Amino acid sequence: MIPIRDTAPCNHRPIMTWAIITLCTLVFITMELLPNALSYWAINHFGMVAVRYSNPQWAHDFGLPADYGFSFLSNLFFHADWLHLLSNMWFLWIFGDNVEDRMGSWRFLVFYLLCGAAATFLQWYFDSANVIPVIGASGAIAGVLAAYFFLYPLERVIVWIPFIYPILLPIPAIAFLGLWVMLQLHNATETVFFNGIAANVAWWAHLGGFISGCLCYRWFLCDEIIPLH
């Protein structure tokens, strides 16, 4: 199912959502224009290479200096190809504006980065020996989806189901996002219990972002104050 739009009203311009989409797009275009050697260097330095943190000696020998976890955030702004970029930015475009509407721009940015860092950490925890850089905004966007799941559960997500029936179907957000998170859980656990399956998608990052979004979204709402006890 491909989401086309949602029905939740938005009362403010989603400035931060637009800014994140613009920055990710500019980073991707810049990477496409760089020479291959420089692009390779940037991906390894700003992408999250899991073994860099689980085996510092390997990182030193490979030429990766200590960055004190900076790549847990910087990887969120890099993407592997146009499809990777467009799919992530499309989800952020549809769901990010409403979540930003409830949080305000700067709280939304902090929430986005927090979910992204938590997502990257969970991916590192379950795949700490990986030497392939993890990049992409999907973990942070998963946190945004979690917030939308709780804030707008009964709003409709208009989806297109390709190759089955060429019409647009309105589906409750709670159903669409519930199916999405179950798919992530299935794929993530599959990579753990079946060692022969190679994962080219950071499924644990998706789950980590969604879980962190579920746990902390209420603290970032402008119209709600949560007591500290």
225 within a domain of the structure (yes/no): no
For residue 182, give its domain range: 2-220
Kindly report the CA angle at 83 between 119 and 134, in degrees rounded to 5? 30
Q: Residue 200 falls within a domain, yes or no?
A: yes
- Rounded to an integer, the average pLDDT of 123-134 is 89
On whether residue 198 sits in a domain, the answer given is yes
Buried-state track 43-78, b at ≥16 Cβ within 10 A, e below 16 = bbbbbbbbbbbeeeeebeeeebeeeeeebbbbbbbb
Q: Domain holding 154: CATH number? A: 1.20.1540.10
Whether 17 maps to a domain, the answer reads yes
Angle at which helices 105-126 and 173-193 pack, to 10 degrees?
30
- Is residue 101 included in any domain, yes or no? yes
Q: 52-109: per-residue pLDDT in tens?
A: 998 888 888 888 888 888 999 999 999 999 999 999 999 999 999 999 999 999 999 9
Amino acid at 133: P
Structural domain count, the chain: 1
CA quadruple 100, 106, 111, 116: dihedral sign: positive
Phi/psi zone of residue 171: left (φ > 0), alpha (ψ -120 to 50 degrees), beta? beta
**Interval 10-69: pLDDT, tens:** 999 999 999 999 999 999 999 999 999 999 999 999 999 999 998 888 888 888 888 888
**227 is a domain residue:** no
**Digit-coded pLDDT (tens) for 159-178:** 988 776 677 889 999 999 98
**Would 60 be classed as within a structural domain?**
yes
Q: Is residue 55 part of a domain?
A: yes
What's the whole-number average pLDDT of the chain? 88
